[in-house]
Structure 1
Amino acid sequence: MGKVWLVGAGPGDAGLFTLKGADVLEKADVVVYDSLVGQGILTRIPPDARLINVGKRAGHHMMPQNMINQVLADEAKKGNRVVRLKGGDPFLFGRGGEELELLTKEGVPYEVVPGVTSPISVPAYNGIPVTHRDFCSSVHIITGHKRQGMEYDIDFKALVHTKGTLVFLMGLTAMEDICKGLMEAGMDPDMPAAVLSKGTTAGQRRVIATISTLKKESDRQKIKTPAIIVVGKVCTLSEDFAWYEKLPLAGWKILVTRPRENISRTAAKLREKGAEVLELPSISISPLEDQSRLQEAFAKLNTYDWLVFTSPAGVEVFWRELGKKKVDIRCLGSVKIAAIGEGTKKKLLERGIYADFVPSVYDGDTLGKELASLLTGKEKILIPRAMLGNKTLVEELEKTGASVEDVPTYETDYQNCPLIDEKKEFEEGSIDMVVFTSASTVKGFVKSTNGLDYSRVRAACIGKQTKAAADAYGMQTYMSEKATIDSLIELVETLKRSEEKWN
């Protein structure tokens, strides 16, 4: 017997996904997910997990609820770790209770992982505290969804008498009825109200009005779902308390294409600046099964003058193989070490190794030329790196007369995420910028977006080689001043400021 976890994915911002939710999702065999789960969460689903899309949105279900309940039970009975991934919180209008009824009846074990819920978080991202002792002492969460052809089963008079903040979920299409019901129940037509669309994401928008004018203002500004309605005096605080849109990258959705093992730091730095980040690794690093050439080099490590690393992945694979073969690291005592850039340098530092040489520009051409200037021509050099590495590096070193052993230790595979249609995202203008950290990430991106008009793609690139790769496909390219992640993020900030200046 397996087990089912009901996991709340939160309102959209991947940073609001709970630590426990992320841990459970990482170990999933089967993921049953809804349409309202944020893209940033969907990209965290393990590549080997089996996916079942039940596509639930208000009024549109790909699979009836009773079938969803049975799928959860059946998959767990097969011995699987089943994650039922829901937008928001499983128990707040998420029908989690109905799913647990069947699991309990059939004796299937389960756990519930609560999620950050939109009636609290979305107003917070819009500068609206749902309670404030100067305005109200309660908050009430109501579903704005009603069954077709039926009247609301809502006691509007009771809600008005609470004098608290009212939050209506799934109420955009019923906004006129909701506002009318509240006014007929005695609410002041000038009561402040807000409609908040796509909260916590780059597409976040809000309209502040009154309950008598909210429908007209929402229509005028073409507000779209998903959206929530907030009614109460606290809505007047949004102008003073709004903070999210003041972040330097707020309103931008950025695609990050680094290998999965390197992507989190880049994504975290962009999120700190307010961007919505879509983490879609376009390449993956796979150590070669046959490491015989590297193992031959291990037997004579102390004979090399230089050990050259051209990527963090090269460092990872090298040290992994050292451990497997139980090679004593002290044999590197007289060997000088070169690193292509800051990322590689940091990987070495994690192992207590300080690079003897880092080029002024972090690319293979510069590494080759500048390292060559330090050689006498009698050196023996080992370069453990990707199967398809920069040829200029070796050529520059060999010009000096040095003996260079170029040893492939890993290969780069291209990949894409089946849950996100990257091509469609760009065609609809949903993504403002893509970040490339190597030429191989450009090639991986192109492979996963076959047929896209690349002139629509704005690309922030690290280094000349990465920019050249993007230029070759006709992208709108920009290059960071330095080949570092911090410099790349500074470039993205500069581009956004420039766009705001001209708009």
Structure 2
Amino acid sequence: MGKVVLVGAGPGDEGLLTLKGEKYIKEADCLVYDRLSSPKLLALAKDTCELIYVGKENHKHVMKQESINELLFQKSNEYPLVVRLKGGDPYVFGRGGEEALYLTDKNVRVEVVPGVSSSVAALADAGIPITHRGVAKGFNVITAHSRKDEEADIDYSQLTDSTITCVFLMGLAHVKSIAKGLMDAGRDKNTPAAVISNATLPCQRKCIGKLCDIGHKIEQADLRSPAVIVVGDVVSLCDKLDFFEKRPMFGKKIIVPYIQSVDKYMDMPYSRGKQSPLIEKLSELGADVTAVITGKIKPIIITDFQDKIKTSDWILFTSKNGVKTFFYNLDKSKADIRILCGCQFGVVGSATAAELRKYNINADLISEVNTGKGLADSFLKKTELTWKKGRKQNVLIWSAQETSGELEKALEGFVNLKKIDAYVNEEYISKNIRFLDDADAVVYTSVSNVNRFLKENHSQKKKIKAFSIGPKTTAALHDNGISDVVEAYECSYDSLIQSLKEL
């Protein structure tokens, strides 16, 4: 029999997942998740992991709680590790206690990984500290939702202390009655109150008022669940402390087609980074990013790796993925690092050089222009004395299976050339893209992303403003009938982001 781990997924922002929670998601053989778990967390699971959705929404239950309990028990008999991923914290109105007791009674090993609760995080990202010296000395967290999907029976007489912040979860439909109950019990009608929807996410919205008018204001605001209600004087601090919504790109809906990193398919010390630095940077700036996978980069195992390296004078890399797959093959072939002592290394651009440096190797050559042709020109300039004397060096190009070939063509006749297909970029098209109708922009970072993303629903996608990282990508967009394109002033993520800030 396997083990079941209840993991708190946090309030919505995947960055608020704990390190321990991430570890278990990556190791899970089966992942049972609910509606409030960020979809991005599912991408952490290994390819062989069984994903089972048991989400609950207002009056819409994919699976009843009793059935979820039994499902967890059944899966614990099938798999060594089952992870139950729950929004927020498993034990804060998440019914995690019921699941743990059910499994324990059936002699299943259970572990609980606490999560960041929306009762605290929602307030923080809305600029509301749940406690503050001289304003609020404590807080109450109350569920406003009963077992029968009705308003909970709350004893408001226990919630009249003005120095205590009151937080109500799952009560969006009952804001008016909650406010009335507090006022009837003696809470001042002018007590500040707020309702926060989709807390910690780029689509977060909030409504600020007082107990006497928050019910009316919430009707006008048209907020959606999940939502958190907060009552107390700490709400008055939100204007000064609302750093979350003041980020420069907050709320901008941006679609980023991207190719999934080769990191997912390797287990190397320096290949465990973030999948897309562009997506991370946009998210940090507050953008509501929909990441659309258009491909998956997978490493290729080179069976005669050591023989190819021994005869090479130069090894050329055209991307960070090339560097990563090179050292992946070095590891898999069980080669001694000293096999590289006779090699020099050339790379396209500073980013590839930085990746190589992670393995304690400084590039002997960095191209002046960030293209394959640029690397060839820089290489021929550096080795001019050698090839002009008729001595051909052995050059190994370590790159993708589907490269353009411009590097090889530029070097032909000057060197003894071998190209290794070190990784493959497999096409993969995500479907059911969120925000396709109301997106502010689509950001394109490569020709393949353009062609693959526009493959389906072409006419609909043409309507969204396009941002391009460089000339080749722009040309591909024009070929696809998209003329209104904003191109970054230089081929870099930072330049692209500067263009997007003008949205």
- TM bucket normalised to smaller: 0.7 to 0.9
User: What are the residue-to-residue correspondences of 1:337-416 with 2, within 5 Å?
Assistant: 337-374=345-382, 375=384, 376=387, 378=390, 379-380=392-393, 381-398=395-412, 401-415=414-428
Q: Give the distance between the partners of 1:349 and 1:258, measured in 2 at CA.
A: 23
Following TM superposition, by how much is the alpha carbon of 1:296 offset from its aligned partner in structure 2, in angstroms?
Answer: 4.7
Aligned to 1:111: 111
Aligned to 1:166: 166
Alpha-carbon deviations, 1:39-72, whole Å to 9, x = none?
3323333332111111212322110100000000
Q: Would the alpha carbon gap of residues 327 and 73 (structure 1) be closer, same or farther in structure 2, given more than 3 Å must change?
A: closer
Match of 1:273 among 278, 285, 292: 285
1:316 aligns with 2:328: no
Q: Give the distance between the partners of 2:488 and 2:16, measured in 1 at CA.
A: 29
Q: Give the distance between the partners of 2:167 and 2:38, measured in 1 at CA.
A: 21
Secondary structure of 2:145's counterpart equals coil
Alpha-carbon deviations, 1:297-316, whole Å to 9, x = none?
23422xx3x32111122222
1:425 aligns with 2:426: no
Aligned to 1:465: 472
1:287 aligns with 2:294: no
Aligned to 2:62: 62
Q: CA RMSD in A?
A: 2.8
Aligned to 1:75: 75
One-letter amino acid of the counterpart of residue 288, structure 1: I
Match of 1:263 among 272, 275, 287: 275
Secondary structure of 1:491's counterpart equals helix
Q: Is the 8 A contact 1:258 1:437 kept in 2?
A: no
Q: Is the 8 A contact 2:151 2:174 kept in 1?
A: no
One-letter amino acid of the counterpart of residue 405, structure 1: K
Q: Is the 8 A contact 1:338 1:358 kept in 2?
A: yes
Q: Give the distance between the partners of 1:197 and 1:149, measured in 2 at CA.
A: 19
One-letter amino acid of the counterpart of residue 298, structure 1: I
Aligned to 2:308: 297
Q: Give the distance between the partners of 1:436 and 1:45, measured in 2 at CA.
A: 26
Q: Give the distance between the partners of 1:149 and 1:457, measured in 2 at CA.
A: 40
Aligned to 1:84: 84
Following TM superposition, by how much is the alpha carbon of 1:238 offset from its aligned partner in structure 2, in angstroms?
Answer: 0.6
Secondary structure of 1:246's counterpart equals coil
Following TM superposition, by how much is the alpha carbon of 1:89 offset from its aligned partner in structure 2, in angstroms?
Answer: 0.9
Q: Give the distance between the partners of 2:55 and 2:243, measured in 1 at CA.
A: 32
Q: Give the distance between the partners of 1:427 and 1:78, measured in 2 at CA.
A: 39
Aligned to 2:461: 454
Secondary structure of 1:75's counterpart equals helix
Secondary structure of 1:337's counterpart equals strand
TM-score by length of 1: 0.87
Q: Is the 8 A contact 1:169 1:229 kept in 2?
A: yes
Contiguous gaps of at least 5 residues in structure 2: 264-273
Q: Give the distance between the partners of 1:290 and 1:335, measured in 2 at CA.
A: 18
Q: Is the 8 A contact 1:2 1:82 kept in 2?
A: yes
Contiguous gaps of at least 5 residues in structure 1: none
Q: Would the alpha carbon gap of residues 149 and 330 (structure 1) be closer, same or farther in structure 2, given more than 3 Å must change?
A: closer
Alpha-carbon deviations, 1:69-119, whole Å to 9, x = none?
000011012233111111111111111111112101101111111110111
Aligned to 2:270: none
Percent identity over the alignment is 37
One-letter amino acid of the counterpart of residue 345, structure 1: A
One-letter amino acid of the counterpart of residue 317, structure 2: F
Q: Give the distance between the partners of 1:220 and 1:442, measured in 2 at CA.
A: 40
Alpha-carbon deviations, 1:177-199, whole Å to 9, x = none?
21222222222222211111111
One-letter amino acid of the counterpart of residue 240, structure 1: K
Secondary structure of 1:160's counterpart equals coil
One-letter amino acid of the counterpart of residue 495, structure 1: L
User: What are the residue-to-residue correspondences of 1:178-217 with 2, within 5 Å?
Assistant: 178-217=178-217
Aligned pair count? 484
TM-score by length of 2: 0.87
Q: Would the alpha carbon gap of residues 115 and 310 (structure 1) be closer, same or farther in structure 2, given more than 3 Å must change?
A: same
Q: Is the 8 A contact 2:310 2:340 kept in 1?
A: no
Q: Would the alpha carbon gap of residues 457 and 404 (structure 1) be closer, same or farther in structure 2, given more than 3 Å must change?
A: farther
More displaced stretch, 355-364 vs 365-374: 365-374
Q: Would the alpha carbon gap of residues 77 and 186 (structure 1) be closer, same or farther in structure 2, given more than 3 Å must change?
A: same
More displaced stretch, 248-257 vs 205-214: 248-257
Q: Is the 8 A contact 1:2 1:80 kept in 2?
A: yes
